[in-house]
Amino acid sequence: MSDKKLKSFQSPEWFRLDNAGILFPGQNTRNWSNLFRVSIELKEEIDPVILKQALENIMPRFPGFNVRLRKGLFWYYLEKNPVKSPSVAPDVKNPCYRMNFKESERFLFRVYYHGNHIAVDLFHAVSDGYGNSRFVCTLAAEYLRLKGNNIPCGEFIKDISAPAPEKELLDDFHKFATSKAKANITDKHVYHPDGIKMPKQMVNITCGIMSFKEVHAIAKAKGVTVTEFFAAIMLDIHLRKQLRENRKQKEVSVQIPVNLRNIYPSQTMRNFSICLMVKIDPTYGEYTFDELLTQVAYQLRLARDEKKINATISKHVRIEKNPVLKFMPLVVKNVALAVATMVGAEQTTTVYLSNLGEITLPEEMVPFVEKALFVPCAGMRTAARCGVVSFNDKLVFTIANSFKENDIEREFFTTLVKMGVHVKIQSNRE
């Protein structure tokens, strides 16, 4: 399908990839895919037959998920998948492994079950954490209904008896990008810890389960948010680690996605988030933990200025619309993206930290749910890619690590324990 024809086609049979999603297919390599997992843990063992029926029941409500990836002359695009739903499968030890676009009935997500867990690994070209969390929670709610429970809609649960509103299918990057300012979106190469790589497609997952109230109380006493608090701990760990390694001192950075729906009046279920960067330069001298907290809070709050964010998303949209790039053959774009991913991916990021926030469910559903998990894919160079989510005072901090070493995880959770936070550890490590 030509780019011109795709632009004018208004039917939900077809979708353009959104401004963030256009990058991910070209970055998909034999070694890495940009997937992430959202999981709901119930208080009863999952019946896969009922789970499969629940998945089929909710798919019409999520047309943005009910797609397969297709190649145009100039761009990838999303086409409605004629299959009702993907299969459901027993869980694997290496979540978020490489996405093969011909597998899973060509859907761009996988549904797993294990014990009382329901998990969805989603290719980022489809949606972000906001969209996947609504999908998983709606799936869990429908599963519980099929088991004979009365679970209403509301909060994270979509009404599957109604069609998706058009606003959920929009690329809101284009809608809200209005700035004429020239944003600088380049960064220096930063510090990355060394380590022994795991075999391809394998990842070490470590989850720390704790009380949100305990963490929030400490963060509030220090005048920062929970995300800022966690980011400062990670920066502190990596700054000290780099110093011990006696290497040339580089900047240490943490990349933090921000949900733009909290800034703009958007209802889209597609990607609508942007990553902000906090950077600490150790050549200025050693930083105390309180100084790091101040730096993180200052840099993040300054970067969250709507005008600066709009300048960034506007620049991304202008790049997408650039005539040279727009009409460059897809095969050339893919080669350029593959090289850029191999050479430059993660060079500007030491730590990735994504906080999904609190999952809220109807009170009728709360007694059936134990906790939620948010698992990012492992990085190629970053030893700490972190996902945070909370439900009903259970906060789960997950670290996906592609290295065999576990010193970062151990130091992070030990730091929390020393501050008075009670932490329970779960891991897939042998």
Contact status, residue 111 vs residue 99, Cβ threshold 8 Å? no
Helix residue spans in 21-164 (DSSP H)? 24-27, 48-58, 129-146
Contact status, residue 14 vs residue 73, Cβ threshold 8 Å? no
Average pLDDT of the segment spanning 306-325: 92
Helix (H) or strand (E) segment spanning residue 13: none
pLDDT digit string, tens, across residues 183-234: 877 778 899 998 999 888 889 999 999 999 999 999 999 999 999 999 999 9
Residue % of the chain over a pLDDT of 90: 78
| Alpha-carbon dihedral sign for residues 10, 136, 156, 124 | negative
How many other CB atoms sit within 10 Å of the CB of residue 170?
17
- Tell me the one-letter amino acid at 351: V
Indicate whether 372 pLDDT > 80: yes
pLDDT band at 6 (very low <50, low <70, confident <90, very high): very low
Indicate whether 9 pLDDT > 90: no
Give the angle subtended at the CA of 343 by the CAs of 377 and 127, to the nearest 5°: 35
d(CA 146, CA 54): 7
For the chain, give percent helix, strand, coil, nearest 5. Answer: 35, 25, 40
Contact status, residue 408 vs residue 230, Cβ threshold 8 Å? no
Q: Which has the minimum average pLDDT: 8-17, 145-154, 406-415, 420-429?
A: 8-17
pLDDT digit string, tens, across residues 98-149: 999 999 999 999 999 999 999 999 999 999 999 999 999 999 999 999 999 9
- Tell me the one-letter amino acid at 109: F
- Two tokens, residue 406: 């576990």
pLDDT band at 323 (very low <50, low <70, confident <90, very high): confident
pLDDT band at 330 (very low <50, low <70, confident <90, very high): confident
Beta-carbon-side half-sphere exposure of residue 120 (alpha carbons within 13 Å): 29
Q: pLDDT at position 187, please? A: 78
| Residue 253 CA: distances (Å) to CA of 294, 398, 407 | 15, 19, 18
Q: Which has the minimum average pLDDT: 24-38, 140-154, 167-181, 276-290?
A: 24-38
pLDDT band at 345 (very low <50, low <70, confident <90, very high): low
Average pLDDT of the segment spanning 85-94: 95
Residue closest to 398 by CA, chosen among 346, 355, 360: 355
Q: Residue 407's Cα: distance from chain center in Å?
A: 23
Q: pLDDT at position 341, please? A: 65
Q: Residue 341's Cα: distance from chain center in Å?
A: 18
pLDDT digit string, tens, across residues 252-280: 999 999 999 999 999 999 999 999 999 99
Q: pLDDT at position 12, please? A: 64
Indicate whether 8 pLDDT > 70: no
Residue % of the chain over a pLDDT of 70: 95
* Sequence-ordered list of residues with C-beta below 8 angstroms from that of 172, at least 6 positions apart, any chain: 260, 264, 266, 268, 270, 272
Q: Exposed/middle/buried for 283, CB within 10 Å: 0-12, 13-18, 19+?
A: exposed
What residues form DSSP beta bridges with 90? 113
| Residue 241 CA: distances (Å) to CA of 80, 245, 246 | 48, 6, 9
What residues form DSSP beta bridges with 355? 388
pLDDT digit string, tens, across residues 285-309: 999 999 999 999 999 999 999 999 9
Specify the higher pLDDT residue, 329 or 362.
362
Q: Sketch out the chain's domains with CATH numbers.
A: 3-176 (3.30.559.10), 204-427 (3.30.559.10)
* Sequence-ordered list of residues with C-beta below 8 angstroms from that of 61, at least 6 positions apart, any chain: 138, 158, 159, 160, 162, 163, 164
pLDDT digit string, tens, across residues 221-260: 999 999 999 999 999 999 999 999 988 999 999 999 999 9
Please state, rounded to an integer, the average pLDDT across all residues of the chain.
92
d(CA 258, CA 273): 5
Specify the higher pLDDT residue, 7 or 180.
180
pLDDT band at 343 (very low <50, low <70, confident <90, very high): low
